Amino acid sequence: MFLMLLGIMQIAFGWYAFRNPDSDWMRMLARIPEDVEQDDSDLFKSQIVGIIAIFMGVIMILSGLSYYSEKSPLQAFIASLVLGGAGIASGLYALLRPESRWFKRRGEDGEDIEPRIWLMKLAGITMIGISILTMLLSAQHLFV
């Protein structure tokens, strides 16, 4: 249970790092002074770290779910299907609408740059792949 809660906190931190790469908290964690201005490539690197943190949080949640698979295989299978379905839905949304406001930095209204659109499509494809793999591998809980 603790690992799943830690995974949820990791996902929340990753989402915050992705949406607000130039916030005071992110500057403090990266030890960047307030008077230094970051360019788009530095902010892009912070967003990549946020996406990696989100994926690590998902892995933590799945590891926490594996504990419950020993006690109730059907419950673990259903939870993995729900988590995989949510991952596929978010991956499809990122793949089909990479310019959505959900994937932009807070307070940014300008045009999307090509690397950001590429990153969103890559993250969407990766999320769909991991979610499908999660759903397929969760079927093993039914045959235990």
Widest pairwise Cα distance in the chain:
59
**Measuring CA to CA, which residue among 92, 75, 73 is closest to residue 131?**
92
> Is 97 in contact with 112 (CB distance < 8 Å)?
no
Of 1-10, 25-34, 107-116, 133-142, which has the strongest mean pLDDT? 1-10
Tokens of 50: 């946020």
Element (H, E) at 31: none
> Is 64 in contact with 101 (CB distance < 8 Å)?
no
pLDDT at 36: 83
Percent of the chain whose predicted confidence (pLDDT) is above 70 = 88
pLDDT digits (tens, 9 = 90+) for 76-122: 778 778 888 888 998 898 888 877 776 666 666 666 677 778 888 88
Distance set, CA 37 to CA 34, 43, 75 (Å): 8, 10, 49
125 contact partners, CB below 8 Å, separation of at least 6 = 91, 95
**What is the pLDDT confidence band of residue 123, given thresholds at 50, 70 and 90?**
confident
- d(CA 43, CA 125) in angstroms, rounded, equals 22
User: Could you tell me how many helices (H) and strands (E) the chain has, helices first?
Assistant: 5, 0
144 contact partners, CB below 8 Å, separation of at least 6 = 69, 70, 73
pLDDT at 112: 66
Residue 9 has pLDDT above 90, yes or no: yes
